[in-house]
Structure 1
Amino acid sequence: MAQEEEIRYYVRIGTTDLDGTKSVRVALTGIKGIGRHTSTVISRMAKVDEYAKLGLLDEESVNRIRAAVEKYATSIPMWMANRPKDLYTGENKHLIGGDVALARDEDINMMRKIRCYKGIRHETGQKVRGQRTKSTGRTGTTVGVSKKKEGGQ
């Protein structure tokens, strides 16, 4: 009878705790900035079976995945980056983890500062991407159609 392997329920990669009960390619999507395609590329770069459970991998394989996540941004073509032509530096970047939210907040603040249409919409809390606002996205008190009073002219 084979000896049962001990599973690690949480595996720390970067600044994120990943679920060790999921496969490598699914668990890696728990890191912000890494989607399904990116996780597949990272697992192939690390030479790890993408369908193996992350918690059952040995420490050497997990370290290879950590290294692949760190060097991913420098080893991909431009079209795979999630931040091509960065506004401030002009470089092609792939942001991972907390950097994604930080860059998003910086972009919104820049739009507010230059007073562009999207920045003003962000400031006022309205929808930004051209959605309908007549009937949806209402906040505060209820606004709607009121019935006319009958009988009193």
Structure 2
Amino acid sequence: MPRVLGVDIPPNKRLEISLTYIYGVGRTTADQICTHLKLEPGMKARDLTDEQITQLAAHLQDDLIVEGSLRRQIASAIGRLRDIGCYRGLRHRRGLPVRGQRTRTNARTRKGPRKTVAGKKSVKGMK
């Protein structure tokens, strides 16, 4: 199993797909990396030589922000928004959607599982 920047990339998948397991590398970036390093995107990741893996790791480290540094950069940006107390920072702090989505319905991913409110009367109980 090839290991690039501390991430085990799947050996049985195409190289362009395997590279997307690295945080910060999507399909487009993976295709650009393959083109820049003159690697066949359709080859399996297990077929990479040690030299190619080293070349790949060096390219990712030098030219792109990936993995830990990208996570730190995003966390610091969110922390800055929280500290200055702007609207987006407040939404992050409260765990609500940040980009204008509705919350009356369909916000379960951000809000988490439903919290049942005790004391609500049903329609049948009111009659």
Shorter chain as denominator, the TM-score bin is 0.7 to 0.9
Counting matched residue pairs gives 120
Structure 1 pair 43–145 and aligned structure 2 pair: CA distance change class (3 A): farther
CA-atom RMSD in angstroms: 2.1
Structure 1 pair 101–146 and aligned structure 2 pair: CA distance change class (3 A): farther
Distance 1:146 1:71 in 2: 61
Which structure has the bigger radius of gyration? Answer: 1
Query: Quick one: which of 75, 79, 84 aligns to 1:105?
Result: 75
Structure 1 residue 25 and structure 2 residue 1: aligned? no
Q: What amino acid does structure 1 have at the position aligned with 2:4?
A: I
TM-score, structure 1 normalization: 0.69
Could you list the runs of 5+ residues in structure 1 that have no partner in the other structure?
A: 1-9, 74-94
Partner of 1:141: 116
Distance 2:71 2:121 in 1: 39
Q: What amino acid does structure 2 have at the position aligned with 1:36?
A: R
Q: What amino acid does structure 1 have at the position aligned with 2:84?
A: I
Q: 1:74-93: CA deviations, max 9, x gaps?
A: xxxxxxxxxxxxxxxxxxxx
Shift of 1:122: 1.5
Structure 1 pair 145–26 and aligned structure 2 pair: CA distance change class (3 A): farther
Q: Which has the higher contact order (CA 8 A, sep 6+)?
A: 2
Alignment of 1:1-153 (within 5 A): 10-73=1-64, 95-137=65-107, 139-142=114-117, 146-147=122-123, 149-150=126-127
Q: Is the 8 A contact 1:21 1:53 kept in 2?
A: yes
